[in-house]
Structure 1
């Protein structure tokens, strides 16, 4: 199998966002499987800063020469990176002292209940952090960016808790992008990679045909007791559930020799798909791309685009 990232698409998606606001490009989890280093370099002149989940992810970007600000989204007990462009997230008073003199961002909990200081502790944390650290921003995160009423409730809570704060603020994510972005900063991930409507998909996944065969009606194909109802040509491709291509799910297709063809069986290291007699070993089929969209594959997997990207992208070389 092979995974290709269309960096032109990533840049166009980022430019579309940054036309209306400052952009914090989220490139955690290897840029959702698209390649964090190549994505950061592609967005060097578009994104205002980057966000990752962990220190190790930030360390990888630093080693690659990324000099834009890098926000670490997960809280850490102690800072291990000394680069001046690294910003650590603070979520509680307990950790403030450990980050004395370091650049930080304050994370507030407005309903997701994952990371962040609760409303009653927010003012104290912000004040204490400003006394001891170099606070760059205050932020929160939507738990359902597609639910407009939930988004508005969180926006209202965030505004109430941070009203009067003289620091940059950000809460808007990909699914909540609007023409007017509250606070003028958007922290976006999935939109950069075309995982939501209105943005260009950037990941193409292909597989190579290893072998083809003609299978008769009543014969087995792959694991299990299922048999073919009629004669068919079958291509064995080099992608399987070990590569993030799920074994179970709804009917799905690959794009083979100019046609959508039904997947018959998914094994650990290979997948069997219907084909025509013209298909031969060495041919390349599309698993996801211009003809099989991320949203279609997500529906067939019974999941979302985030998991499709990161599962398949984990095998990117």
Structure 2
């Protein structure tokens, strides 16, 4: 099969298209012929060598959807010919509230979805929502799962609440906007680009502000009247303003810190307002099933930014690295 192989870290240019052996399933595994894959920022961490426990060579990629072509002897929940979407989380464990220490995801250390075929546990293959195209289905897994757990399982969003999504444009942030709007929340965003705020509004957000404005906090406070739930992946100085925006008893969920540490985070506003700060990462098998149910019930369509053929994965990764995308970047797989 054709695959984008990473044999040394250093950047997207280190990915090379190679011909490699097609995997065979173990007793409880299936092999999926991929129709499409999607990019995540985790892929960049792996490719640049900034991800813990890197083992090379590896085929990166966590997201994919396709058709089962082979199944192990002990597999009975799915069968060859089934159209499936892949849960990228591996070895979550039996406790849906917290992951086991051995939890990993496709694409590191296990080979991932930048390939013609991928081998996964049969329990990780779920029926593809019928209203989604292959590209849309591939866009959903990691970002949709992360968004659902942060918003619903950890954030416990309620209808009518004001939800803030800093940094509109990324895959997870886009899903949070869509999911929160579908669940009846009032969604607000921040971005440095008016175009991205407008796109978020087209997905259900009420409005947003430019976080580069000196008075962006005051603007947002006036626009919203206060925030019940902030879901952040940015960190940095802007994170320190979230308690200021929060209402009494509000929640802040963090699932990343792309801008690093928070130099201005102070406890007084946290304690006086009784604000909860909650960490979240990816999600459990139950979260994945519940996320797919939400997507199907509300016929939510993932936002596709741009589509590239598999061999142009380095170019696609550079677009994501530059922050030029709004929504998910897709790789189409040659058949």
TM over 0.5: no
Which has the greater radius of gyration?
A: 1
TM-score (norm 2): 0.29
